[in-house]
């Protein structure tokens, strides 16, 4: 609970000192790569501006907002399974959060394997929720919608 109040205080200070959102410090790209019949890798790539970092899907401790993907249900797509992270994972003890946190700097790629249930063109849609922090502040979390064309 202490970590929650710490994060809340950080966010309040961030809002009062800067109206910038996390989305202004991260550029996202979303692509699909066919890897087998009706099977695709969805690549969700975050390019993070210098002096900022973005938390992993498992942030390590309670407090920092982990990166989270949610997918819109599509009856033509099986989107079960984990999302793999590809990048230089940094593990650091942050006093503000009371423990070891997991984050990325510069660039991280999230890869999800999906299967299309028929030979049709369709799309995988969803959104990503993330938070970026610097040495002195965390920005307001951002949620970015995305759509990736697959199948056919």
Q: Tell me the pLDDT tens digit for each residue of 107-135.
A: 999 999 999 999 899 999 999 999 999 98
The pLDDT of residue 2 is above 80: no
Query: Which of 17-26, 29-38, 60-69, 131-140 has the least mean pLDDT?
Result: 17-26
Could you say which DSSP state residue 57 is in? S
Could you give the number of structural domains in the chain? Answer: 1
What's the CATH code of the domain at 107? 2.60.40.1250
Instruction: Find out whether 39 and 123 touch, Cβ atoms under 8 Å.
Output: no
Domain housing 21? 2-151
**pLDDT grade for 152, boundaries at 50, 70 and 90:** confident
Entry pTM: 0.85
Distances (CA, A) of 49 to 26, 39, 57, 70, 133: 6, 32, 19, 24, 11
Question: Above pLDDT 90, what percent of the chain?
Answer: 76
What are the structure tokens assigned to 90, written together? 């940094």
Could you say which DSSP state residue 18 is in? -
Listed in order, strand segments (DSSP E) in 37-141 are 39-48, 53-55, 68-71, 77-78, 84-87, 90-94, 99-104, 107-116, 121-130, 132-133
User: Are β-strands 132-133 and 107-116 bridged in parallel, bridged antiparallel, or unpaired?
Assistant: unpaired
Q: Tell me the pLDDT tens digit for each residue of 70-82.
A: 999 999 999 999 9
Could you say which DSSP state residue 22 is in? G
């Amino acid at each position: 609970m202490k970590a929650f109040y710490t994060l809340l205080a950080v966010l309040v200070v961030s809002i009062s000192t800067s109206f910038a959102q996390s989305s202004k410090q991260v550029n996202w790209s979303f692509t699909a790569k066919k890897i087998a019949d009706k099977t695709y890798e969805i690549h969700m790539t975050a390019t993070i501006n210098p002096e900022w970092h973005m938390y992993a899907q498992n942030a390590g401790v309670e407090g920092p907002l982990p990166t989270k993907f949610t997918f819109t249900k599509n009856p033509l797509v099986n989107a079960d399974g984990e999302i793999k992270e590809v990048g230089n994972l940094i593990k650091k003890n942050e006093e503000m959060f009371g423990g070891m946190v997991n984050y990325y700097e510069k660039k991280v790629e999230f890869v999800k394997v999906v299967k299309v249930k028929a030979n049709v063109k369709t799309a995988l849609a969803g959104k990503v929720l993330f938070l970026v922090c610097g040495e002195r502040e965390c920005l307001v979390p951002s949620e970015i919608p995305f759509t990736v064309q697959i199948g056919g």
